[in-house]
A and B are shown apart, each in its own frame.
Chain A
Amino acid sequence: MAKIQIITIVANILFVLYISRLIIKGKLREEYAIVWVICTAVLLLFSFWRNGLEVMARLTGVYEAPNLVFTGFIFAILIYLLHLSVVASKLHNANKKLTQEVSLLKEQFEKHLTKKE
Protein backbone atom coordinates (compact mmCIF):
# COMPACT_ATOMS: atom_id res chain seq x y z
CA MET A 1 0.00 0.00 0.00
CA ALA A 2 1.42 3.36 -1.00
CA LYS A 3 2.11 6.12 1.48
CA ILE A 4 -0.48 8.44 -0.03
CA GLN A 5 -3.16 5.76 0.36
CA ILE A 6 -2.45 5.43 4.06
CA ILE A 7 -2.54 9.20 4.51
CA THR A 8 -5.90 9.58 2.76
CA ILE A 9 -7.41 6.64 4.61
CA VAL A 10 -6.35 8.01 7.98
CA ALA A 11 -7.58 11.50 7.04
CA ASN A 12 -10.90 10.02 5.97
CA ILE A 13 -11.36 8.13 9.18
CA LEU A 14 -10.58 11.24 11.22
CA PHE A 15 -13.11 13.18 9.15
CA VAL A 16 -15.83 10.58 9.76
CA LEU A 17 -15.05 10.61 13.47
CA TYR A 18 -15.30 14.41 13.55
CA ILE A 19 -18.67 14.33 11.76
CA SER A 20 -19.95 11.71 14.22
CA ARG A 21 -18.79 13.87 17.13
CA LEU A 22 -20.65 16.88 15.71
CA ILE A 23 -23.83 14.81 15.35
CA ILE A 24 -23.53 13.34 18.84
CA LYS A 25 -23.06 16.78 20.34
CA GLY A 26 -26.10 18.02 18.45
CA LYS A 27 -24.14 20.57 16.44
CA LEU A 28 -24.90 19.00 13.09
CA ARG A 29 -28.28 17.71 11.99
CA GLU A 30 -28.30 14.26 10.45
CA GLU A 31 -29.84 15.41 7.17
CA TYR A 32 -26.85 17.64 6.47
CA ALA A 33 -24.43 14.93 7.61
CA ILE A 34 -25.58 12.50 4.94
CA VAL A 35 -23.81 14.45 2.20
CA TRP A 36 -20.57 14.51 4.16
CA VAL A 37 -20.72 10.82 4.96
CA ILE A 38 -21.29 10.00 1.28
CA CYS A 39 -18.33 12.24 0.33
CA THR A 40 -16.00 10.42 2.70
CA ALA A 41 -17.28 7.07 1.50
CA VAL A 42 -16.38 8.01 -2.09
CA LEU A 43 -12.95 9.26 -1.02
CA LEU A 44 -12.35 6.11 0.98
CA LEU A 45 -13.36 3.91 -1.93
CA PHE A 46 -10.84 5.56 -4.22
CA SER A 47 -8.04 5.50 -1.67
CA PHE A 48 -8.34 1.72 -1.43
CA TRP A 49 -8.96 1.17 -5.13
CA ARG A 50 -6.00 2.93 -6.70
CA ASN A 51 -6.83 2.20 -10.34
CA GLY A 52 -10.45 3.19 -9.77
CA LEU A 53 -9.95 6.72 -10.95
CA GLU A 54 -8.31 5.62 -14.23
CA VAL A 55 -11.14 3.14 -14.81
CA MET A 56 -13.80 5.78 -14.16
CA ALA A 57 -12.02 8.26 -16.45
CA ARG A 58 -11.89 5.73 -19.28
CA LEU A 59 -15.56 4.88 -18.73
CA THR A 60 -16.66 8.51 -19.00
CA GLY A 61 -14.20 9.35 -21.80
CA VAL A 62 -12.10 11.83 -19.83
CA TYR A 63 -8.45 11.96 -21.02
CA GLU A 64 -6.81 13.15 -17.84
CA ALA A 65 -8.10 11.32 -14.80
CA PRO A 66 -7.60 14.25 -12.35
CA ASN A 67 -9.93 16.37 -14.48
CA LEU A 68 -12.70 13.94 -13.65
CA VAL A 69 -12.08 14.60 -9.97
CA PHE A 70 -12.28 18.37 -10.45
CA THR A 71 -15.39 18.23 -12.60
CA GLY A 72 -17.15 15.80 -10.33
CA PHE A 73 -16.33 17.60 -7.13
CA ILE A 74 -17.02 21.11 -8.38
CA PHE A 75 -20.42 19.97 -9.59
CA ALA A 76 -21.17 18.29 -6.27
CA ILE A 77 -20.06 21.39 -4.37
CA LEU A 78 -22.26 23.66 -6.50
CA ILE A 79 -25.28 21.48 -5.86
CA TYR A 80 -24.56 21.45 -2.16
CA LEU A 81 -24.18 25.24 -2.09
CA LEU A 82 -27.55 25.58 -3.77
CA HIS A 83 -29.00 23.30 -1.14
CA LEU A 84 -27.54 25.55 1.57
CA SER A 85 -29.12 28.61 -0.06
CA VAL A 86 -32.46 26.83 0.05
CA VAL A 87 -31.95 26.07 3.71
CA ALA A 88 -31.02 29.71 4.39
CA SER A 89 -34.16 30.94 2.59
CA LYS A 90 -36.30 28.59 4.63
CA LEU A 91 -34.72 29.83 7.84
CA HIS A 92 -35.21 33.43 6.71
CA ASN A 93 -38.95 32.87 6.26
CA ALA A 94 -39.29 31.04 9.55
CA ASN A 95 -37.40 33.82 11.28
CA LYS A 96 -39.68 36.47 9.79
CA LYS A 97 -42.84 34.64 10.89
CA LEU A 98 -41.49 34.16 14.41
CA THR A 99 -40.44 37.80 14.72
CA GLN A 100 -43.87 38.99 13.61
CA GLU A 101 -45.72 36.63 15.92
CA VAL A 102 -43.59 37.54 18.93
CA SER A 103 -43.97 41.28 18.39
CA LEU A 104 -47.74 41.00 17.92
CA LEU A 105 -48.09 38.82 21.02
CA LYS A 106 -46.02 41.24 23.05
CA GLU A 107 -48.25 44.13 22.02
CA GLN A 108 -51.36 42.15 23.06
CA PHE A 109 -49.79 41.17 26.32
CA GLU A 110 -48.88 44.74 27.22
CA LYS A 111 -52.39 45.90 26.35
CA HIS A 112 -53.80 43.31 28.78
CA LEU A 113 -51.44 44.40 31.52
CA THR A 114 -52.40 48.07 31.23
CA LYS A 115 -56.11 47.13 31.24
CA LYS A 116 -55.75 45.25 34.53
CA GLU A 117 -53.99 48.06 36.31
Chain B
Amino acid sequence: MPGKVLIVIPCYNEEASIPIVLQELQQIKLPGDYQMNVLVVNDSSKDNTSAVAKKHGAIVIDLPVNLGIGGAVQTGIIYARDNSYDIAIQLDGDGQHPPKELGKMINFHLETGANVVIGSRFLEKEGFQSSFARRMGIKYFHWLNRLFTGLHIYDSTSGFRLFDRSAITLAAANYPDEYPEPESLVVFSKAGLKIKEVAVIMSHRLGGQSSIRSFGSLYYCIKVSLAMLFSFIRKP
Protein backbone atom coordinates (compact mmCIF):
# COMPACT_ATOMS: atom_id res chain seq x y z
CA MET B 1 0.00 0.00 0.00
CA PRO B 2 1.44 3.37 -1.00
CA GLY B 3 2.14 5.86 1.77
CA LYS B 4 0.38 9.15 2.30
CA VAL B 5 2.12 12.52 2.39
CA LEU B 6 0.56 15.71 3.71
CA ILE B 7 1.99 19.04 2.67
CA VAL B 8 1.26 21.54 5.45
CA ILE B 9 1.31 25.19 4.36
CA PRO B 10 0.84 27.70 7.18
CA CYS B 11 -0.49 30.94 5.69
CA TYR B 12 -1.04 34.46 6.86
CA ASN B 13 -2.15 36.96 4.20
CA GLU B 14 -0.64 35.16 1.27
CA GLU B 15 -3.30 35.33 -1.43
CA ALA B 16 -0.70 36.62 -3.91
CA SER B 17 1.81 33.81 -3.63
CA ILE B 18 -0.30 30.82 -2.60
CA PRO B 19 -1.77 30.10 -6.10
CA ILE B 20 1.73 29.84 -7.58
CA VAL B 21 2.86 27.49 -4.83
CA LEU B 22 -0.26 25.32 -5.18
CA GLN B 23 0.05 25.16 -8.97
CA GLU B 24 3.68 24.09 -8.66
CA LEU B 25 2.66 21.43 -6.15
CA GLN B 26 0.12 19.95 -8.56
CA GLN B 27 2.85 19.27 -11.10
CA ILE B 28 5.06 17.44 -8.63
CA LYS B 29 5.52 13.72 -8.88
CA LEU B 30 6.62 12.20 -5.60
CA PRO B 31 8.97 9.22 -5.44
CA GLY B 32 7.83 5.74 -4.44
CA ASP B 33 4.10 5.99 -5.26
CA TYR B 34 3.47 8.38 -2.43
CA GLN B 35 0.02 9.88 -2.49
CA MET B 36 0.03 13.61 -1.77
CA ASN B 37 -2.53 15.94 -0.22
CA VAL B 38 -2.05 19.64 0.28
CA LEU B 39 -3.34 21.31 3.43
CA VAL B 40 -3.40 25.07 3.82
CA VAL B 41 -3.71 26.27 7.40
CA ASN B 42 -5.09 29.77 7.19
CA ASP B 43 -4.04 31.59 10.35
CA SER B 44 -7.02 33.98 10.25
CA SER B 45 -5.67 36.00 7.34
CA LYS B 46 -7.26 39.34 6.63
CA ASP B 47 -7.21 38.77 2.88
CA ASN B 48 -8.67 36.10 0.63
CA THR B 49 -6.12 33.37 1.31
CA SER B 50 -8.72 30.81 2.32
CA ALA B 51 -10.94 31.17 -0.76
CA VAL B 52 -7.98 31.33 -3.14
CA ALA B 53 -6.47 28.16 -1.65
CA LYS B 54 -9.81 26.31 -1.88
CA LYS B 55 -10.16 27.32 -5.51
CA HIS B 56 -6.79 25.78 -6.24
CA GLY B 57 -7.85 22.47 -4.77
CA ALA B 58 -6.18 22.49 -1.37
CA ILE B 59 -7.75 21.25 1.83
CA VAL B 60 -8.18 24.39 3.92
CA ILE B 61 -8.34 24.73 7.68
CA ASP B 62 -9.38 28.18 8.86
CA LEU B 63 -8.20 29.12 12.33
CA PRO B 64 -10.77 31.44 13.90
CA VAL B 65 -8.09 33.11 16.02
CA ASN B 66 -4.57 34.01 14.94
CA LEU B 67 -2.26 31.49 16.61
CA GLY B 68 1.07 32.35 15.04
CA ILE B 69 3.25 30.06 12.96
CA GLY B 70 3.74 27.41 15.67
CA GLY B 71 0.06 26.96 16.42
CA ALA B 72 -0.78 26.89 12.71
CA VAL B 73 1.83 24.25 11.89
CA GLN B 74 0.74 22.19 14.86
CA THR B 75 -2.85 22.25 13.61
CA GLY B 76 -1.61 20.77 10.34
CA ILE B 77 0.39 18.15 12.21
CA ILE B 78 -2.66 17.18 14.29
CA TYR B 79 -4.60 16.82 11.05
CA ALA B 80 -1.84 14.55 9.72
CA ARG B 81 -1.96 12.45 12.87
CA ASP B 82 -5.75 12.12 12.93
CA ASN B 83 -5.89 11.17 9.26
CA SER B 84 -2.96 8.76 9.63
CA TYR B 85 -0.51 10.27 7.20
CA ASP B 86 2.93 8.67 7.03
CA ILE B 87 4.77 11.90 6.33
CA ALA B 88 3.98 15.56 6.88
CA ILE B 89 6.04 18.25 5.19
CA GLN B 90 5.88 21.86 6.25
CA LEU B 91 6.31 24.30 3.39
CA ASP B 92 5.97 28.07 3.49
CA GLY B 93 3.23 29.69 1.46
CA ASP B 94 5.37 32.58 0.28
CA GLY B 95 7.21 30.65 -2.42
CA GLN B 96 10.49 30.47 -0.54
CA HIS B 97 10.46 26.69 -0.49
CA PRO B 98 10.37 25.26 -4.00
CA PRO B 99 8.08 22.22 -4.22
CA LYS B 100 10.43 20.53 -6.65
CA GLU B 101 12.74 19.82 -3.71
CA LEU B 102 10.08 17.68 -1.99
CA GLY B 103 11.19 14.52 -3.75
CA LYS B 104 14.72 15.08 -2.55
CA MET B 105 13.56 15.38 1.04
CA ILE B 106 11.42 12.25 0.88
CA ASN B 107 14.21 10.25 -0.74
CA PHE B 108 16.63 11.49 1.90
CA HIS B 109 14.19 10.41 4.62
CA LEU B 110 13.84 6.98 3.04
CA GLU B 111 17.59 6.54 2.66
CA THR B 112 18.65 7.68 6.12
CA GLY B 113 15.57 6.82 8.17
CA ALA B 114 15.71 10.26 9.80
CA ASN B 115 12.54 11.16 11.72
CA VAL B 116 12.90 14.86 10.96
CA VAL B 117 14.46 16.18 7.75
CA ILE B 118 15.29 19.87 7.48
CA GLY B 119 15.63 21.47 4.08
CA SER B 120 18.74 23.55 4.58
CA ARG B 121 20.05 26.41 2.50
CA PHE B 122 23.56 26.38 3.89
CA LEU B 123 24.93 22.98 3.06
CA GLU B 124 25.69 24.04 -0.49
CA LYS B 125 26.29 27.55 -1.67
CA GLU B 126 23.50 27.84 -4.17
CA GLY B 127 20.35 29.90 -4.50
CA PHE B 128 19.11 32.51 -2.08
CA GLN B 129 21.26 32.80 1.04
CA SER B 130 19.47 35.59 2.96
CA SER B 131 20.93 38.69 4.64
CA PHE B 132 24.08 39.13 6.73
CA ALA B 133 22.29 39.75 10.04
CA ARG B 134 20.18 36.70 9.52
CA ARG B 135 23.25 34.63 8.71
CA MET B 136 24.88 35.81 11.95
CA GLY B 137 21.77 34.81 13.85
CA ILE B 138 21.80 31.44 12.23
CA LYS B 139 25.44 30.97 13.23
CA TYR B 140 24.48 31.73 16.81
CA PHE B 141 21.64 29.20 16.67
CA HIS B 142 23.96 26.63 15.19
CA TRP B 143 26.13 27.02 18.26
CA LEU B 144 23.13 26.96 20.61
CA ASN B 145 21.77 23.85 18.95
CA ARG B 146 25.07 22.10 19.28
CA LEU B 147 25.02 22.97 22.96
CA PHE B 148 21.54 21.62 23.59
CA THR B 149 21.21 18.80 21.09
CA GLY B 150 24.80 17.90 20.32
CA LEU B 151 23.93 18.00 16.63
CA HIS B 152 25.41 20.00 13.80
CA ILE B 153 22.38 21.72 12.38
CA TYR B 154 23.24 24.57 10.07
CA ASP B 155 19.80 25.90 9.25
CA SER B 156 17.86 25.48 12.46
CA THR B 157 15.47 28.32 11.56
CA SER B 158 14.42 26.74 8.27
CA GLY B 159 10.70 26.06 8.11
CA PHE B 160 11.06 23.55 5.28
CA ARG B 161 10.70 20.31 7.22
CA LEU B 162 9.67 16.73 6.90
CA PHE B 163 8.13 14.88 9.84
CA ASP B 164 7.68 11.11 9.89
CA ARG B 165 5.08 9.22 11.92
CA SER B 166 6.89 9.42 15.25
CA ALA B 167 7.75 13.09 14.78
CA ILE B 168 4.09 13.78 13.88
CA THR B 169 2.89 12.06 17.06
CA LEU B 170 5.32 14.05 19.17
CA ALA B 171 4.72 17.44 17.54
CA ALA B 172 0.93 17.02 17.65
CA ALA B 173 1.19 16.85 21.42
CA ASN B 174 4.04 19.24 22.01
CA TYR B 175 5.03 21.99 19.62
CA PRO B 176 6.15 25.51 20.61
CA ASP B 177 3.96 28.49 19.60
CA GLU B 178 6.14 31.39 18.80
CA TYR B 179 9.29 31.04 16.65
CA PRO B 180 9.04 27.26 16.91
CA GLU B 181 11.77 26.14 14.52
CA PRO B 182 14.94 26.06 16.66
CA GLU B 183 13.11 25.17 19.86
CA SER B 184 11.27 22.20 18.39
CA LEU B 185 14.63 20.66 17.47
CA VAL B 186 15.51 20.49 21.17
CA VAL B 187 12.18 18.79 21.86
CA PHE B 188 12.73 16.29 19.05
CA SER B 189 16.28 15.45 19.98
CA LYS B 190 15.39 14.98 23.65
CA ALA B 191 12.73 12.50 22.60
CA GLY B 192 15.46 10.58 20.78
CA LEU B 193 14.32 11.34 17.24
CA LYS B 194 16.85 11.41 14.45
CA ILE B 195 17.24 14.85 12.87
CA LYS B 196 19.04 15.31 9.54
CA GLU B 197 19.58 18.12 7.09
CA VAL B 198 19.50 17.99 3.34
CA ALA B 199 20.60 20.78 1.02
CA VAL B 200 17.83 22.52 -0.89
CA ILE B 201 17.82 25.58 -3.08
CA MET B 202 15.54 28.30 -1.80
CA SER B 203 14.26 31.33 -3.64
CA HIS B 204 13.22 34.81 -2.54
CA ARG B 205 9.76 34.97 -1.05
CA LEU B 206 7.11 36.00 -3.60
CA GLY B 207 5.06 38.00 -1.14
CA GLY B 208 4.37 38.47 2.54
CA GLN B 209 6.92 39.07 5.26
CA SER B 210 9.26 36.98 7.32
CA SER B 211 7.94 36.29 10.79
CA ILE B 212 11.36 37.53 11.94
CA ARG B 213 11.78 41.20 11.10
CA SER B 214 14.77 43.34 11.99
CA PHE B 215 12.86 45.20 14.66
CA GLY B 216 12.13 42.15 16.70
CA SER B 217 15.28 40.20 16.02
CA LEU B 218 16.82 40.86 19.40
CA TYR B 219 13.61 39.76 21.08
CA TYR B 220 13.68 36.74 18.79
CA CYS B 221 17.18 35.77 19.91
CA ILE B 222 16.43 36.15 23.60
CA LYS B 223 13.07 34.42 23.43
CA VAL B 224 14.36 31.47 21.43
CA SER B 225 17.47 31.09 23.60
CA LEU B 226 15.33 30.97 26.73
CA ALA B 227 12.82 28.64 25.16
CA MET B 228 15.56 26.27 24.04
CA LEU B 229 17.16 26.30 27.47
CA PHE B 230 13.89 25.46 29.20
CA SER B 231 12.95 22.84 26.64
CA PHE B 232 16.32 21.31 27.35
CA ILE B 233 15.79 21.29 31.12
CA ARG B 234 12.13 20.21 31.01
CA LYS B 235 11.40 16.55 31.46
CA PRO B 236 10.01 15.00 28.28
Contacts and interface: CB of A to CB of B under 8 A. Distances in A.
Our verdict on whether A and B bind, yes or no, reads yes
Interface of A: 92, 95-96, 99-100, 102-104, 106-107
Contact of B59 (A92, A95, A107): A107
28 contacts: A92-B177, A95-B65, A96-B67, A96-B71, A96-B177, A99-B63, A99-B65, A99-B67, A99-B71, A100-B63, A100-B67, A100-B71, A100-B74, A100-B75, A102-B64, A103-B41, A103-B61, A103-B62, A103-B63, A103-B64, A103-B75, A104-B61, A104-B79, A104-B82, A107-B59, A107-B60, A107-B61, A107-B62
B65 A106 contact: no
Interface string B68-94: 000100110011001000000000000
Interface of B: 41, 59-65, 67, 71, 74-75, 78-79, 82, 177
A95 B79 CA distance: 18
A106 B67 CA distance: 17
Contacts of A107: 59-62, 79
B172 to A, nearest CB: 10
A96 B64 CA distance: 10
A100 B62 CA distance: 9
Q: Interface of chain A, helix or strand or loop or mixed?
A: helix
B62 A106 contact: yes
Given A100-B71, A103-B63, A104-B75, 10 more contacts: A95-B65, A99-B64, A99-B67, A100-B63, A100-B67, A100-B78, A103-B41, A103-B75, A107-B59, A107-B62
A94 to B, nearest CB: 12
A96 B174 CA distance: 12
The 4 closest A-B pairs by CB, nearest first: A99-B65, A100-B75, A103-B61, A103-B63
A43 to B, nearest CB: 38
A97 B179 CA distance: 18
Nearest to B44: A99
Nearest to A92: B177
B186 to A, nearest CB: 19
A92 B59 CA distance: 27
A76 B65 CA distance: 34
Contacts of B177: 92, 96
Contacts of A106: 61-62
Nearest to A95: B65
A102 B65 CA distance: 10
A77 to B, nearest CB: 24
Given A96-B71, A96-B177, A99-B71, A104 B78 contact: yes
A102 to B, nearest CB: 6
B18 to A, nearest CB: 17
